[in-house]
Structure 1
Amino acid sequence: MSRSRTRTGALAAGLAALAVLAVFDGPSAGAVRVRAEAATAARAPAPQRPLPAAEFNVRDYGAKGDGSTNDTPAIQRAVNAANSAGGGTVRLPGGGSTYESKNTLHMKSDVTLQVDKGATLSGNGADDYDPPEPNEWDDYQDYGHSHFHNAMIHGDRLSNIAFVGEGVIDGDGALITGNPESGEADKIISLTRCKGLRLGDGLTLREGGHFAALVNGCDDVVSDRLTIDTAMDRDGWNVINTTDVTVTGAHLDANDDALAFKSDYALGAKLPNGRVRVSDSYLSAGCCNALMFGSETCGDFTDYRFERIRIEGSDKSGLGMVSMDGSRISDVHYKDITMTGVRSPIMQKIGNRKRCGNNPGVGSISDITYTNVKATGSTPSFSPTLWGESGQSRIKDVTFTNVDLTVPGGNGTMSTDVPSNKSTDYNPKSIGTRPGYGWYIRRADDVTFIDSEVRFASDDGRPAVVANDSTGIRFSTFTAQRGSASPADLVFQQTRGYCVRDSANTGGGVLRVGQSGSSEDCG
């Protein structure tokens, strides 16, 4: 490094120290600031943390940005310098520069990695990434969830970190979508047990292998204007065992799950999840789920708000929610959601896979609302479904208000018997063809439909709704399209306290109700 660059580095370090003294008052003030911002994130959309004052240009540390030189060592030196100085922004300048990353970059606390517009941090198939670490709990989740070191960028137990800029971090075909061999990576960003993360501000993650971003055991996560393009790979962003999350303006195109909230046992404990806000975002999932809870569901989930979200395409669930491993999911609310081309627009299921440590029981789903939701489905078999288990694991307190669904239809008349179910499988296909074209409800209590509607694209011989072994299933100003050969519009089987008020078919006629072992209660 030249003498002038040495002086520049020293000056930057000095400025960083002064900035730290100016911003923080006392050794614990950083933690106080993080806690305060976490509280703010629960109330307001996308609060922004100021960038650290000191800048560390990676070219001053030897990075070439020529698309062939391995720039990881130079970028690592800049990250280390920023951390040693008390914090700073590590900047990758643009101008069409490509910074090859042939090794794992180890993120440090109080560092912002800024990829400028016109800059790309690119993966490389040199098989020189960190090997996966041993994990004594890897039997409880898939391989990709169990190992974190084998990534383009890894960090553990960090605080106050950020990945921002209008540039691109690109796996560039080097990341693995299956189980990687030693030296191979399967993630772009892999973070565990972090406190205070900002991700976005125009940043794009592309070709992420198994995961473009995976965070586990973190708290205080803020994301605004993040773009993920893993439509040819697998998952977009997995948010696991994480609390205090605010996501705004995301654009996530994935092949597997686009945005998934999960809770696994990879960190050797059953951990909490919640206080999450996601708004004004676009999601697409090729083979799988667009906006998903699970399937890894060890710890409990509570306090989630999803608003103004557009979903285009998913071959499993548009809005999916499963409790497979003992978690209790509650206080989740969807509002102003539009979906097109989703195979199963809305899916709730409780299963008994129990893939979690400490002998988990069977979980539950309760206090869920859907308001102003419009969707078109793409297969007649996977009707919107609520499927609970027995005992304390039934689905409870679900309300649909102004939820309008158009499903494909096209089935003939079929038996209304309970379809087959594989209780250890979370996929919509784990339940056989539903006997209702619009909604199938089983082992659910206090489910209410208000000002809602279900139609089909092609004539269907099934009832619009079938409810089985449930209580308190209520319809108010509900509209259902009538199939020419359907035996009834609404069918209640062993359902106590159903009620149908002010409801009609699309032609204005009274809905036909079939009931077996059920009782009406509109009192």
Structure 2
Amino acid sequence: MRTGATFDVRDFGAKGDGVALDSPAINAAILAAEAAGGGMVILPPGDYLSFSLRLKSRVTLVIDKGATLIAAEKGLLGAYDPPEPRGPQLYQDFGHSHWHNSLIWAEHAEDIAIIGKGRILGLGLTRNGPGTPWSKQAGERPLSMAAMPAADIGKLERSREAMQGLGNKAIALAHCKRVRLDGFSIFKGGHFALLASEVDGLDITDLSIDTNRDGLDLDCVRNARVERCRVNTPNDDAIVLKTSLGLGKRSNCEDIAIRDCTVSGFDLGTMLDGTRQRTQELSPDRDRVTGRIKIGTESNGDFRRIRIANCRFERSRGLALETVDGGAIEGVLAENITMDDVTTAPLFLRLGARLRGPEGTRPGAMRNVEIRGLTATGIDPRFAAILAGLPEHPIECVQLRDIDLAFRGGLSEPVATPPELADAYPEPSMFGSTPAWGFWARHVIGLDVQKLRLRRERDDRRPPVLLDDAAARAADAQYWPESV
């Protein structure tokens, strides 16, 4: 519903021809709406070439059906707003620590929205940027990248100097209240299609995102819902909750609902065009394609009261809950989850001790997690469902109900129990092939499993279930080694 005064960007000089730079006109319309006490800034059908747009309180940006907001290339026409001079960000990478170097950004804004059936096309956005200057490199990168040459890492992690004038996010929000995003699509959103940092009151509905790195990143967000979104991210996570130190302080992620969403790792662009192609096998971390829903890896603050319901994973890594930087994950419910063509483990709960944070950071906690009604098919046979705590910091009180897992193939050799790898970057592949083919839990107390069904296509030398420093109350567990 459109309410309030309207401001057509063409009345402020926008051409919409895809050639002229329209961001000065769009920003002028936003300022006019702000001066009027709020209103709707309209992009009618057309192609609007743009650098940074600065969204203001009580302003709604409407991208009409047939309108495309195009991220311009840095060059003769100009550049993006510079990243904020925030000093050394010791415990977070460049992308998480800046917001102004984006196609659309808002800071300390209230009652803002981006709506419409149009499209954001991130042609001029980069997916790359420098990593954290954190000196302890254990746990900074996935173990799958251990053998990657420095030159290849350099292509992914460009210097801070190289980032000047570049935009690396489609939408970035910091310290905002009451935000609505609805209806539009994003193709090639850069490092983040959306980075929302310390936003209170966030509604994201009916978005279609097909992007070259992260999809929806909710970092230290409260009172948020993500509903009916399709997010395709073969190279990184699709919908992810984080509690990083990007804003320079510890904060929490609380009261979040993710419902009726589909995430995937199809080839870039092929979710939006409907072809759903599967030629890309590996992500930049040299593990299989990503495209999942995840809590973590950045986990300095706590995660509380998180609900994930009625979501579908397609050709992606499975559901991951990870706390490794001192935060607690507690009060998580995931229900009615379906997965097809799972590229690593269907379920990964990890309490680790990377401890990327100030001196004195200690391992966090994971407790009171319930997962019910999870069905997964086509799972990579190397990886069981994994629950992995630490000897002195076990995962606590996990309830699993109605879990049905079907694995492709099987392994011909038994697998030794992996080392603890407490400070490693958390990924299911960190342990290599798991010592059980269906379900492996280590350092878990209060594990309650009801109706666990495990199937595989051919013989496997590993046991179906292995509990290591973990005792489970279980009922109705069934394992089928024959063909599914």
Sort the TM-score into its range (normalised by shorter chain).
0.7 to 0.9
The 5 Å alignment of 1:316-355 reads 317-342=317-342, 343-355=344-356
Deviation at 1:169, TM superposition (A): 1.1
In structure 2, the partner of 1:176 is 126
Structure with bigger helix share is: 1
**How far, CA to CA, are the matches of 1:422 and 1:433 in structure 2?**
17
Letter in 1 for 2:366: I
Contact 1:241–1:262 (Cα < 8 Å) also in 2: yes
In structure 2, what is the Cα distance between the partners aligned to 1:389 and 1:136? Answer: 34
Deviations 1:449-495 (A, max 9, x none): 11220111222111100000123x122011112489xxxxxxxxxxx
Q: Which residue of 1 aligns with 2:173?
A: 191
Contact 2:232 2:291 in 1 (8 A): no
Write the distance in 2 (CA, Å) between the matches of 1:303 and 1:66: 46
Identify which of 182, 187, 206 aligns with 1:206: 187
Q: Could you tell me which residue of structure 2 aligns to residue 494 of structure 1? A: none
> Which residue matches 2:408?
408
Stretch deviating more after TM superposition (415-424 or 452-461): 415-424
Aligned pairs for 1:120-199 (under 5 A) are 120-127=68-75, 128-136=79-87, 138-172=89-123, 174-179=124-129, 181-199=163-181
Deviation track 1:258-296 (CA, whole Å, cap 9, x = no partner) reads: 000011101111001110111111111362251001110
Read off the aligned partner of 1:197 and give its amino acid letter. Answer: V
| 1:229-244 paired onto structure 2 within 5 Å | 229-230=210-211, 233-244=212-223
Aligned partner letter, 2:53: L
Deviations 1:191-211 (A, max 9, x none): 1010010011x2111111111
Shift of 1:409: 4.1
Gaps of 5+ in 2: 130-161, 267-288
- Aligned partners of 1:421 and 1:432 also within 8 Å: no
Instruction: Report the counterpart of residue 313 of structure 1 in structure 2.
Output: 315
Equivalent residue number for residue 59 of structure 2: 111
What is the CA–CA distance in structure 2 between the aligned matches of 1:374 and 1:298, rounded to whole Å?
31
Q: Deviations over 1:31-69 (max 9, x none)?
A: xxxxxxxxxxxxxxxxxxx64411111111111101101
Query: Is the Cα–Cα contact under 8 Å of residues 131 and 183 in structure 1 kept in the other structure?
Result: yes
Distance verdict in 2 for CA 1:406–1:195, change over 3 Å? same
1:254 maps to what in 2?
233
Aligned to 1:77: 28
Corresponding residue SS for 2:319: strand
Q: Unpaired segments of 5 or more residues in structure 1?
A: 1-49, 485-505, 507-523
CA 1:254–1:332 in 2, change beyond 3 Å: closer, same or farther? same
Aligned pairs (5 A) from 1:8-87: 51-87=2-38
1:216 aligns with 2:216: no
Counterpart amino acid of 1:187?
A: K
In 2, distance between residues paired with 1:84 and 1:394? 55
Contact 2:458 2:481 (8 Å CA) reproduced: no
Compare relative contact order (CA 8 Å, sep 6+) and give the higher one, 1 or 2: 2
- 2:232 is paired with a residue whose SS is strand
Q: Matched residues in 1 for 2:54 and 2:298: separation?
A: 27
Instruction: Determine the structure 1 residue equivalent to 2:467.
Output: 467
Matched, 1:100 2:12: no
Q: 1:416 to 1:482 in 2, by over 3 A?
A: farther
The structure 1 segments of at least 4 consecutive aligned residues displaced by more than 6 Å after TM superposition are none
**Structure 2 letter corresponding to 1:237:** L
CA change 1:386–1:409 in 2 (3 A) is farther
- Structure 1-normalised TM-score? 0.79
Q: Distance in 2 between matches of 1:269 and 1:181?
A: 24
Q: 2:88 & 2:440 partners in 1: Cα distance?
A: 36
Compared with structure 1, are the counterparts of its residues 413 and 481 closer, same or farther at alpha carbon in structure 2 (3 Å cutoff)?
A: farther
For residues 313-348 of structure 1, what are the alpha-carbon distances to aligned partners after superposition, in whole Å with 9 as ceiling and x for unaligned? 12xx31011101011001111111100111211001
State the alpha-carbon separation in 1 of the partners of residues 417 and 358 from structure 2. 36
* Alignment-mate amino acid for residue 184 of structure 1: L
Task: Tell me how many residue pairs correspond in the alignment.
Answer: 425
Task: State the match for 2:157 in structure 1.
Answer: none
Distance 1:247 1:124 in 2: 28
Match of 1:272 in 2: 252
Supply the distance in 2 between the matched residues of 1:444 and 1:397 (Cα, whole angstroms): 8
- Structure 1: how far apart are the matches of 2:423 and 2:192? 27
* Residue 302 of structure 1, aligned match among 283, 301, 304: 304
Is the CA contact (8 Å cut-off) linking 1:351 and 1:426 kept in structure 2?
A: yes
Question: What is the rounded CA distance, in whole Å, between the counterparts of 2:97 and 2:371 in structure 1?
Answer: 33
**Who wins on radius of gyration, i.e. which is larger?**
1
8 Å Cα contact 1:199/1:224 also seen in 2: yes
3-state SS, counterpart of residue 466 of structure 1:
strand
Q: Deviations over 1:106-148 (max 9, x none)?
A: 1111100000000001011134111222233522112211222
CA distance in 2, matches of 1:359, 1:385: 28
Deviation at 1:384, TM superposition (A): 1.1
Residues 358/148 of structure 1: CA separation in 2 closer, same or farther (3 Å cut): farther
